[in-house]
Each structure stands twice: as C-alpha cells, then as structure tokens.
Chains A and B, each alone.
Chain A
Amino acid sequence: MTVSSILWPLAGGTLIGLSAGLLLLVTGKIAGISGILDGVVNLRAGHWSWRAAFLAGLLAGGALLWAVLPHALPTALERPLPTMIVAGLLVGAGSRLGSGCTSGHGVCGMGRLSARSMVSVAAFTLTAAVTVYFARHVFGGSF
C-alpha cells in the first residue's frame, strides 16, 4: 500500500459522507441513489424535482471528473454487454426489493447505526463476493 492508495479512498469516502450529510442537513432527505433514481423513473409527483436535481448533479460531477481526474472513470468495462444488462436488472430490482443500495444502506443506514442496513450490507457484500468467486474462479471469467 502506498500513501496515495490510502489517502484517495479516505478523501473519496469523506466527500461521499459529507455530501450525503449535507443532503440531510439541507433537505432532510436520505441520499439513497436507488431511491432517488426510482422516484425519477416512476415520475413520482412531489419528489421528482429534487431527485432530478441530484441526478443532474451526479452527471455534472461525472463531467468534472472526466475533466480533472479522467482515470477515475472506466475506459472499458470488465464484463461483456449482455452481462452488464443482466447485472443492471438485478441491481435495479434488488435495490427496490431490499429498500436501498450501497448509498442508502451502506453509507446513510450504517451511519445511522440501522440494524436493517447492517444486515443488508452484509448480505449484498457476501453475495457479491460469492458471485465474483464463481465468475472468476469457477467459470474462469467466461461471463
């Protein structure tokens, strides 16, 4: 491990936590990206505009990254297109069924010391690790 391999993750995590905290302080809302996206794609009245503004901010931040920290964005994905489509479907449906994702449960829920979120994070991290194990070490990265 180098100094930068420790400092970048700490800086990134601190910014993520700060952003999610500011959203709570300013709007009283939880920064759960899956919930925010769900509200936008479902056109949920009364919640649409702030969620759309947050998503627009994510894209603007992405554009800024592209300009100042381009190696933070992927040049080519690890997995082929069909796998990414299946992955997207599972991430989308699973995040709604389980009421949250890496941000809502992982950052906000864990930060609130929510037992539900701790169970969720443990379950999805374990499942994801098992999935990677099978994909890479059993099936040899063939999908």
Chain B
Amino acid sequence: MGLIAVFLIGALFALGLGAGGMTLPGKILAFLDVAGAWDPSLVLVLGSAVVTYGIVYRLSLRRPRPLLAKSFVLPGQTGVDRRLVAGAVVFGIGWGLGGFCPGPAIVALVTAQPAVLAFVAAMAAGMLLHDRLAGMGRAPATRSGPVPASADG
C-alpha cells in the first residue's frame, strides 16, 4: 500500500518534470545561458514548485505523524558550511555541462539514449565515489520532534 503510493507519487513527479520542461537539457542550458537567448521559464517551474511544496509542507506538519509512517524525517542540519557550498559548486559545474540534474536524467532513461544511460551511470558512480571518499555512516544526532535526516535531499 505504502510502496504503491510512493510509486504513484514518483510517477507524478516525473510528469511534473516533463510538463515543466526540466527533462529537456537544451531548455535547462537555455535557462542557464543568460548571455545568450535566455529562456526564463524554469523560474516559473521552480517558483510554482516551491510555493506548492511550501503549502503542502505546512499543512502536513500540522499532523502528529505522516499518513503511513511513524514520524516526519526532516533535514537536521542548520548553518552553512564549506561542504554545502563546495558540493553545490561541483554540482553546478556538472549541471551546466550536461543540462541534466538527477530527477530529469532518470526520467529520460526511458529514451534509452546512450548519452542518458552514460550520464546516469556516471552520476551513480560519482555518488559511490563520494561516499567511499567521505566515509559512510556519520552518526545521526538524537533529539525529540521530527527525526533529522543526514542530508537535505
């Protein structure tokens, strides 16, 4: 029941990415190309996604617990550190080179294009490489209220 719900939510996410144009690397690169023929439409995608999520987030947290789980698992880290900024810079170079971020690349796997498959395989390898280098299993802090997640997303 829970897994079917998550499956359907994932499918809805993919439809949103597709409708918004996030699955087209050419459109992402046109959005990032402020010195060229700039395509601002992704501002609308991100803006409407953030506002919609913000509303559902606030309504959801009025509940003592999620519908099908014991507790909310929210990012526990606060404060900006070097890791956060360095990671964003590395991610941004990759995003600017290929025009793909993780979700849209996974959705585009259905096209079975070699370049998409290679991107996703390299992305998974990059994650494993990072985890090996960083050392896995940082101990999560214990506190009351929502359980903190080790990552923001």
Q: Which residues on A are within 8 Å of B, measured CB to CB?
A: 5-6, 8-35, 37-38, 41-42, 49-50, 53-66, 69, 72-81, 83-117, 119-121, 123-133, 135-137, 143
Contact = CB atoms under 8 A, between A and B. Distances in A.
Contact of B90 (A74, A97, A104): A97
A72 B5 CA distance: 24
B80 A105 contact: no
Contact of B50 (A17, A115, A131): A17
Given A8-B19, A123-B88, A58 B107 contact: yes
Interface size class on chain B is 35 or more
B54 A29 contact: no
28 contacts: A13-B49, A15-B15, A16-B53, A17-B54, A21-B52, A21-B57, A31-B153, A33-B103, A33-B106, A34-B102, A42-B136, A57-B10, A62-B106, A62-B109, A65-B110, A86-B97, A90-B126, A97-B83, A98-B86, A103-B103, A105-B88, A109-B75, A110-B54, A112-B75, A113-B54, A115-B80, A116-B80, A119-B88
A30 B32 contact: no
Given A15-B15, A103-B102, A91 B123 contact: yes
Given A59-B109, A101-B102, A78 B14 contact: no
B56 A59 contact: no
B14 A6 contact: no
Interface of B: 2-26, 29, 32-36, 41-42, 44-57, 59-60, 63, 65-75, 77-80, 83-103, 105-111, 113-116, 118-131, 134, 136, 146, 149-153
